[in-house]
């Protein structure tokens, strides 16, 4: 499932670009949680009662270089 989510992120970068500099959790081709750090992200995601394993990724800011999945 994770590779499907990674493919979705790479094909729909316009949907995750607003989260530049943030960590996101992606499930079922949707951004399920957003936070400034991975610990906060997982706390938010775990509170959502979503049982699916998310793709967890940091979306780089423009000054951080290229986005490679």
Please state the pTM of the whole predicted model.
0.86
CA–CA separation, 45 and 63 (whole Å) = 27
pLDDT at 1: 55
pLDDT at 21: 95
54 in a structural domain? yes
**Structural domain total, the chain:** 1
Which candidate, 55, 59, 62, 54, places its Cα nearest to that of 13?
59
Domain that holds residue 46: 2-58
Walking along the chain (69 residues) 10 residues at a time, the average pLDDT comes out as: 83 94 96 97 94 94 74
CA–CA separation, 49 and 56 (whole Å) = 16
37 in a structural domain? yes
pLDDT at 67: 61
63 in a structural domain? no
The two tokens of residue 25 are: 């959790």
Which candidate, 21, 25, 35, places its Cα nearest to that of 2?
25
pLDDT at 57: 95
66 in a structural domain? no
């Amino acid at each position: 499932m994770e590779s499907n989510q990674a493919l979705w992120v790479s094909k729909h970068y316009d949907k995750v670009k607003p989260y530049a500099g943030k960590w996101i959790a992606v499930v079922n081709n949707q951004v399920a949680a957003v936070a400034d750090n991975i610990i906060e992200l997982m706390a938010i995601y775990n509170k959502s009662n979503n049982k699916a394993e998310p793709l967890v990724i940091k979306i780089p800011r423009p000054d951080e270089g290229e986005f490679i999945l």
